[in-house]
């Protein structure tokens, strides 16, 4: 039972060392329902930073294309705002993963 808690919490802490690969491996290797649930939640939370970076990258490229066409001069402001928003979202996700990993270890 103790190793299940450690494995579940490592899924959350893997945001620092293995990204979303570790929770996927744990999900398919483990046969415990609780560990699989935590691995799935950790995987989804690890995808959020990846999705925000891609989303704001696409927005910056789109605004850059419009900027070259002479439509707007908002590229620096929108790109900076996108970086700030993505950074805040990614920071929140990392803090959430730390909190969830500690809660799983404590058994809360």
Domain residue ranges in the chain? 2-106
Residues 33 and 13 sit within 8 Å (Cβ to Cβ): no
pTM over 0.75: yes
pLDDT tens per residue across span 6-49: 989 989 999 888 777 999 999 999 989 999 999 999 999 989 88
Report pLDDT digits (tens) over 50-101: 888 888 878 777 776 666 655 556 666 777 787 888 889 989 999 999 999 9
Half-sphere exposure of residue 41, counting CA atoms within 13 Å on the CB side?
18
The sign of the dihedral angle between the CA atoms of 60, 66, 69, 71 is negative
Please give the Cα distance from 90 to 94 (Å, whole number): 6
């Amino acid at each position: 039972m103790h190793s299940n808690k450690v494995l579940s919490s490592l899924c959350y802490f893997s945001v620092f060392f293995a990204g979303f690969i570790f929770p996927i491996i744990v999900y398919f290797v483990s046969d415990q329902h609780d560990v699989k649930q935590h691995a799935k939640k950790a995987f989804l939370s690890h995808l959020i930073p990846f999705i925000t970076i891609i989303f704001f990258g696409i927005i910056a490229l789109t605004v850059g294309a419009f900027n070259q066409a002479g439509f707007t001069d908002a590229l620096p402001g929108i790109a900076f705002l996108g970086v700030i928003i993505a950074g805040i979202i990614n920071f929140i996700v990392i803090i959430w993963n730390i909190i969830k990993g500690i809660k799983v270890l404590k058994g809360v």
